[in-house]
């Protein structure tokens, strides 16, 4: 891990929505050392920095299946429902998503309201 990181220091993943940026070590569906686990989308993956285990990975984000934007997996930026959708795309096609997803988004936008005022 250490070595691949030093060899390619330019591998930076950056979310086009929230700006979160951090280096990644793998892009694809089958991160190294994950054995039986397969990702269902092409993802930017890094070693899980919060685990002492060297082989634990962390998915940072992927591209939106509609607009192709590079987005992080944070619930404010994208969601996965058989495919990756960025939140703006989900909102644009909200009607095609099941009620559960819609309810979840509605709840989130409500709760994030006071958070915004706090920031300003």
Partner 1 sequence: MDQIFFREQDYIQAGSSEHREFWAFFDRFQRFKAKRDMSGSGARDEVKERKRTGHEKVDLGLPREYDARYRINVSVCTGDVEQRMGKADPTRRQRSSGPGPQEVSDCRLALLHFLDFSQKQSFGKLAKLRREQNNLPIFQYRDRIVELVRLHPVVVVAGDTGCGKSTQVPQYLLSAGFTHIACTQPRRIACISLAKRVSFESLNQYGSKVGYQIRFETSRTAATKLLFLTEGLLLRQIQQDKNLDQYEVVIVDEVHERHLHCDFLLGVLRSLLADRPGLRLILMSATINIKLFSEYFHSAPVLQVPGRLFPIQVIYQPIPPEEQPSRSEKLDPRPYLRILQGIDQRYPPEERGDLLLFLSGVAEIGTIQEACQVYATHTRRWIVLPLHSTLSLAQQDKVFDVAPLAVRKCIISTNIAETSVTIDGVRFVVDSGKVKEMSFDPKAKMQRLQEFWISRASSEQRKGRAGRTGPGVCYRLYSESDYNAFAPYPVPEIHRVALDSLVLQMKSMDLGDPLSFVFIDPPPTSSIQTAVTYLKEQGALDSRGELTSIGRLLSQLPVDVVIGKMLVLGSLFNLVEPVLTVAAALSVQSPFLRSSQHNPDCSTARQPLHSNQGDPFTLLNTFNAWVEVKRERGGGSRKWCRRRGLEEQRLYEMVNLRRQFKELLRSHGLLESEDRAPSGGDRLQRRERFTERKKLHQLKRHHEQQEGTKRKVLRMDEGQDGELSSGSDTEGRGRKGKKRQEEDVDIQEVKFKLRHNVSELQEAVSASQDLSSRHQALLKLLLCRGLYPQLALPDEHNSNRKDSEQVFHTRNKQGVVIHPTSVFASDPEVLHVPEDDVRETGPDRRDSSRHQLLAFVTLLETNKPYLSNCVRVPALQALLLVANSVDTNADCTRLVVDGWLELEVKEPEEALRVLSTALSLRCEWERLLKVQLGQSSLGEASGQGVSRRDMEKLSEGLVRFLLYTEVSYSLQRLTAFQTQNLYVGPQSEPDSSYAEVPDLSPLFPGAEAKPDPIKGGLRVSGFFTYNCLADSKDLYSECLRTFWSCPNCELYMPLTPLERMHHEASCRPAGERQEAEKESGDGKPGSSSMSSLTRVYHCDVCNEDLKLTSTEILKHKRQHMFAAK
Question: Which residue's structure tokens are 């979310």?
Answer: 15
DSSP class of 54: T
- Site membership for partner 1, residue 14 (CB under 8 A): no
Least distance (Å) from partner 1 to the CB of residue 27? 14
Structure tokens at 39: 């990702």
CA angle 49, 55, 59 (to 5 degrees): 55
| Contacts (Cβ under 8 Å, ≥6 apart) of 111 | none
- Site membership for partner 1, residue 71 (CB under 8 A): no
Build a one-symbol-per-residue string for 76-95: x at contacts with partner 1 by CB under 8 A, - elsewhere. Answer: ---xxxxxxx-------x-x
Residues making contact with partner 1 (CB under 8 A):
1-2, 9, 18-22, 33-41, 43, 46, 48-56, 58-60, 62, 66, 72-74, 79-85, 93, 95-101
């Amino acid at each position: 891990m250490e070595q691949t990181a030093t060899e390619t220091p330019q591998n930076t993943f950056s979310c086009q929505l929230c700006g979160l940026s951090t280096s990644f070590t793998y892009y694809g569906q089958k991160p190294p050392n994950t054995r039986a686990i397969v990702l269902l989308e092409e993802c930017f993956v890094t070693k899980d920095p919060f685990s002492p285990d060297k082989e634990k990975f962390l998915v940072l984000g992927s591209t939106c299946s509609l607009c192709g934007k590079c987005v992080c997996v944070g619930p404010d930026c994208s969601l996965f429902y058989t495919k990756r959708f960025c939140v703006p795309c989900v909102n644009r096609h909200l009607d095609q998503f099941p009620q559960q997803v819609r309810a979840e988004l509605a709840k989130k936008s409500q709760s994030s309201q006071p958070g915004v005022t706090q920031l300003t």
